[in-house]
Amino acid sequence: MHKDNLSNNDKFGLLEEDLEFNKKLKEYFIKTCSDKISEIYKSLDEGNITNAYRLAHTIKGNAAQLGKTHLQKAAAEVEGLLKNGKNDVTDAHLKNLEMELKAVIIEFNGSNDAG
C-alpha cells in the first residue's frame, strides 16, 4: 500500500517504526565501531596491515550506510593507504579518522538520548 493511502495513525506508526529502526542502527554502529580506531592502532603496531585495512574498510562501509560522508572519506583514505599490504598511513590520517569517528559517535549518542 502506498503511504499516501494510509491514515494519519498508520503514517505515525510507520514513522515511529522508522525512528526506532534508525535508533537501533545508531546504537549498533556505536557498539561495533567505537573501538575500531584502537584496533587499527594495535594492528599497525603488530604489523598486521591486513587487519588494519579490514577495520578501516568496515568503518568506511558502516559510515556510508548511515550517510556519514566525512567519516566514510577519512576511512577510505586510511584504507587506500593500507592497500596491497603496504602501510603508508601517517599519524595525521589516523587522527583525522579518529576525530571523524568520535564526532559521529557523539552525534549518535545525543540523538539516541533525545529519541
Provide the residue type at 22 as one letter.
N
Going by C-alpha positions, the residue among 108, 43, 16 that lies closest to residue 57 is 43
For 35, the 3-state DSSP assignment is coil
Kindly state the average pLDDT of the residues 21-45: 94
- Write out 36-51 in H/E/C secondary structure: HHHHHHHHHHCCCHHH
Going by C-alpha positions, the residue among 62, 63, 43 that lies closest to residue 52 is 43
Complete domains list, the chain, with CATH: 3-114 (1.20.120)
**What pLDDT, on the 0 to 100 scale, is given for residue 113?**
59
pTM over 0.75: yes
Predicted confidence (pLDDT) per residue in 62-80, tens digit:
999 999 999 999 999 999 9
Nearest-angstrom CA–CA distance, 62 and 99: 16
